Amino acid sequence: MTESPEGDWEGTPMPDTDAERITAPVHITGPEGPWKEVREGMDLRGNASVYTTWGEWLTVAVGDPALRPMLGRDWQRYRRTTDPTIRYRFAASRLAVKYTAAAALGATPAELDLAYRLGGRPYLRGFDQIDVSLTHTDDLIAVGISRLGRIGIDTEPADRVMSFELLQDHVCTFAEKKELARLPEGEQAAAMLRLWTLKEAYTKALGQGLRLSFTEFGFGTGSAGLLAPDGTPAESGEWAFGTYPALGRYLVSVACHDAGLDPARDTAVATMLDEGFMGAVAELID
């Protein structure tokens, strides 16, 4: 793994990454992208993800006259938020989702209508095949998108200390506890943090969040394949997982499910949206 001069690995896969099946997260610096890798990842692997900071979207969130139509149904929530920091972070996260989806689908952000399922998970109205996941911590925002099945994304500060001694019974399976107990004490906290983000990403992809006990499934320290509590493989290849460093101070984990959908299907917005839905979006924007 080679670090760039800025101290950011810029999406270079860590050893536990399924690099052939997951598009490495791309650092997006605002509306200008770069978006090429997002579209290429969607075309080649059926998924893409990005990470960014809310400060990189501050100019748009504060001064862009097109913010209201861009936020759409989120505009009222944005206006009701009195704390300016929370308000601008909210706007930045929604803009990041829309711009990422637009790049992945060959659309413009204003064409897309962001809505929410029970529990707050975002989705794109009119795109039943497209799955979206959003997460944030501190100043980092991460977005995942897939056309092949469910996707979940999670991020944590890389220096977050997770005590193996205190958390093992709540986070680890029996097999994971045995494996982590053999690690040097200095490596246990990092291994625990990796497990936490992978499990968060997987349960988010399932739509379960913390409702699914983390002790009911696991991962190995040397690979990201899904394991049963006893350490045996828990699935036959439908899932792919990866953990990546971001900005030199965060970890981002991604869980992607392949539901067997047609990988060659055209995901350009012009071919996926029907005219009636496009008319409804036009009325909403106007």
Residues 6+ apart with CB under 8 A from 203: 152, 209, 210, 211, 212, 214
Q: Answer yes or no: are the C-beta atoms of 192 and 164 closer than 8 Å.
A: yes
pLDDT exceeds 50 at position 11? no
Q: What pLDDT does 6 receive?
A: 42
CATH code for residues 26-155+259-285: 3.90.470.20
State the Cα–Cα distance between residues 255 and 189, nearest whole angstrom. 21
pLDDT exceeds 80 at position 73? yes
At residue 233 the predicted structure's pLDDT band, cuts being 50, 70 and 90, is: confident
pLDDT exceeds 50 at position 31? yes
The more confident residue out of 12 and 38 is 38
Q: What pLDDT does 5 receive?
A: 36
pLDDT exceeds 90 at position 239? yes
Region 170-199: mean pLDDT is: 93
Any idea where the domains of the chain sit in the sequence?
Answer: 26-155+259-285, 160-243
Task: Check the CA dihedral 71-74-80-82 and report its sign.
Answer: negative
pLDDT exceeds 90 at position 264? no
Which 8-state DSSP code applies to residue 233?
Answer: B
- Please give the span between the terminal C-alpha atoms of the chain, in angstroms, as a whole number: 48
Least confident of 11-20, 55-64, 74-83, 213-222: 11-20
pLDDT in tens, 43-53: 999 999 999 99
At residue 210 the predicted structure's pLDDT band, cuts being 50, 70 and 90, is: low
Q: What pLDDT does 2 receive?
A: 34
pLDDT in tens, 76-101: 999 999 999 999 999 999 999 999 99
The more confident residue out of 272 and 37 is 37
Q: What pLDDT does 273 receive?
A: 46
Q: What pLDDT does 118 receive?
A: 83
Region 260-269: mean pLDDT is: 60
pLDDT in tens, 107-126: 999 899 999 988 888 999 99
State the Cα–Cα distance between residues 232 and 217, nearest whole angstrom. 10
pLDDT in tens, 116-157: 988 888 999 999 999 999 999 999 999 999 999 999 999 999
At residue 267 the predicted structure's pLDDT band, cuts being 50, 70 and 90, is: low
Q: What pLDDT does 66 receive?
A: 87
Contacts 24+ apart (CB under 8 A), 262-265: 263/46, 263/148, 265/129, 265/147
The continuous run of DSSP H or E covering 141 comes out as strand 140-146
Q: What pLDDT does 241 receive?
A: 95
pLDDT exceeds 70 at position 4? no
